Amino acid sequence: MTTLPRGLYTALITPFNEQGEIDFEGLKANLEDQIASYVAGIVLTGSTGEGSTLTENELKELVPFAKKVTNGKTTLVVGIASPSTKKCVEQLQMAQEGGADAILAITPYSNKPSQEGIYHHFQTLANSTEVPIILYNHPGRCHVPIALDTLRRLILHPQIAGIKDCSGDLNYFMELCRTFGQQLQIFSGDDGYAYPHLALGASGLFSVASNLFPHVMNKLVQLVLERRFDEALSLHYKLLPLFHALNSETNPIPVKKGMKLLGKPSGSPRLPLTPLSASNTLTLEKLLCVVRPTSNV
């Protein structure tokens, strides 16, 4: 099994300019910000990166561009998503050709496959690549979970290296760690669950909040991984209101507004997502002021 670095992975936004096109200079600045904070990895074209709204030509350009900027300084993970296994294979191959170090593959959404369908979907992806695959369990977006019995079959494939869990089900997560912790890398996919997930045995965190404060989020992850629980818990509770604010509307609506408020490249989300409401913007702005002094911890 391929082992990925432990630690913080930033689920990076895709910044757009006023014309709604990818802001590559802004993307470069955001990538460099993450590298300077020593994150373990960066995730492109995931849910936070609005990957489902990007065209094929944009995907072909985006991954090699990011690979050139990161240049081995951090792990480059590329998200793929489609209800179609065939389209996922095409995305995977583009990502691999562009230089992806790993693939983050979410369960097919919309068509609600059976567990047998999920198994064959991920098997097909694993058979189509030479880079490690991280499965992405998110029943909230995809309507169906990756069942533990299905996972037991999937981990026999050498290209399947890990799983990112966004189920919000702590019992499911504990069973992941208890049953598969020695065979598979398990990652938290929710900032609000980072502390308990890492304490239970997760290898790292795929974070939205680290777009805003990568140094702070890296500190939180490292404190828990080093078993410095009292310090980690104090920081966790300081950040918790921000985590809630980043879930006030569909991701990445709040975090893109947060980036703009901090003066970082962002732009508006693409339709059908719309900018953050005025009331939620006010709440987020107040919380950014609270967390900002922590950014030098």
Using one digit for the tens of pLDDT, what is the confidence trace for 8-31?
A: 999 999 999 999 999 999 999 999
Rg of the chain over CA atoms, in angstroms?
Answer: 18
**pLDDT surpasses 70 at 295:** no
Write the pLDDT tens digit of every residue in 239-256: 999 999 999 999 999 999
Which of 9, 67, 119, 164 is catalytic? The answer is 164
Distance between CA atoms of residues 221 and 232, nearest Å: 8
Residue 60's contacts (CB-CB under 8 Å, 6 or more residues apart) are: 94, 98
Please tell me what DSSP assigns to residue 39. -
Which of 9, 136, 193, 195 is catalytic? The answer is 136
Classify domain 7-296 at the CATH topology level. Answer: TIM Barrel (3.20.20)
Q: Can 219 be counted among the known catalytic residues?
A: no
Q: Can 164 be counted among the known catalytic residues?
A: yes
Quote the pLDDT of residue 297: 57
User: CA torsion sign, 76 to 80 to 85 to 89?
Assistant: negative
Question: Taking Cα atoms as reference points, which of 133, 108, 134, 154 lies closest to residue 204?
Answer: 134
Structure tokens at 168: 């919000």
pTM of the model: 0.95
**pLDDT surpasses 70 at 175:** yes
